[in-house]
Amino acid sequence: MNRNILPVGLASAVVGCGAAVGVVEAFDLGGGHTTTVVQQAPLAAVADAKAGTALTARDIYKQDAPGVVFVRSQVVQKTQTPFDFGLPQERRGEATGSGFVTAADGTILTNAHVVNGATKVTVQFQNNKTVTAKVVGKDESTDLAVLKVDPGGLALRPLRLGDSTTVQVGDPTIAIGNPFGLERTLTTGVVSATRRTIQAPDGFTIDGVIQTDAAINPGNSGGPLIDAAGRVIGVNSQIETGGTQGGGNVGIGFAVPIDTAKRIVPQLKKSGRVERGYLGISSITIDSSLSDLNLPVAHGALVQSVQPGSPAAGAGIRAGDIQAQLNGQQIQLGGDIITAIDGKKVVSKDDVSNAVTAKKQGDKVTLTILRAGKRKSVQVTLANRPTQILPGQP
């Protein structure tokens, strides 16, 4: 199936000669405050265990919308054409998206692709108060960025963060953001799927992603995906357009899980970037969906490929060399099966990814693997994860 994935930031750019880098429709908001509420599906009232009250979509909007901001980034791109006589030209434009306050000290979370290449970032609050924001740090591998504003004179309303590990298919969801520049729009839906994988701006993959049918459109990037108790469970990042003209919503949106943000935000606030260990493999999760393959274990990570020159290759980790088809998915059989890392059981490929990325260059990990029915331990010294994916790299 051909997929057309679109980051849900909204960007436009113009140059002095009138050529456009990106073309979007202009919306005249008339300088006024616009609030649009779209009720996509009924949201059942759910008891908030802490507050002891039942929250409706209206309640959640009143509670959380003041903490959602409109992010504008002034972007400069350097390009070169045969008519530039070898001199790069600067093209200026604006990228817009959403974000939300996470702490009273002025910390705001958004998507990395909303502020990539930004020379200036401003955020607008519900009362039309607009202030300059500093990009404290960003991580393209998770498409997350941390902004900071001076809290002085601002009545900041931090949103409560939930637990994305408890999210289940069918749970109600609410998205609040600024699609196409329409400020603080609310849409509702449900969790359509969990444990999805999407591609990050640097070419790596983001695992454990939440899929929702709550309407998400360009401009929603960086906005919160909220559960029925008013807690943030994800950061809206991409949509599946299905090839539709203009890249509008077709009912498939993706949010980076909030637990991923909880893990990396402290690093971004401390050093502006995230250091990750690098193993150099791709793998798939062994679960009941692979039961027809008669694998020797019910859970684990089956190695699909090993990047040449990587730590995994140096340690002798082996990929499969037998191709198989299962439910339309191509699988490489015969490779190592990772069953534990540093003695901790591996249930899915996400366990491998999380264990490795929690480390840094030079750290050692011990992989417990099954190879040809025999269990063995392999110690690997991790490298520093590349800043972007290389051709042919898993």
DSSP string of 93-131, one letter each residue: EEEEEEEEE-STTSEEEE-HHHHTTEEEEEEE-TTS-EE
DSSP string of 180-228, one letter each residue: GG-TTEEEEEEEEEEEEEEE-TTS-EEEEEEEE-S---TT-TTPEEE-T
Contact 242, 251 (CB under 8 A): no
CA 65 to CA 206: how far, in whole Å?
27
Q: Residues 98, 113, 259, 353: which is the catalytic one?
A: 113
Q: Is 143 a catalytic residue?
A: yes
Contact 125, 247 (CB under 8 A): no
CA 55 to CA 184: how far, in whole Å?
19
Q: Residues 48, 64, 139, 143: which is the catalytic one?
A: 143
Residue 31 neighbours by CB under 8 Å, 6+ apart: none
Q: Residues 73, 164, 192, 221: which is the catalytic one?
A: 221
Q: Is 113 a catalytic residue?
A: yes
Q: Is 221 a catalytic residue?
A: yes
3-state secondary structure of 13: strand
Q: Kindly report the backbone phi and psi dihedral angles of residue 135, in degrees, each rounded to the nearest multiple of 5, phi listed first.
A: -80, 105
Give the catalytic positions in this structure.
113, 143, 221
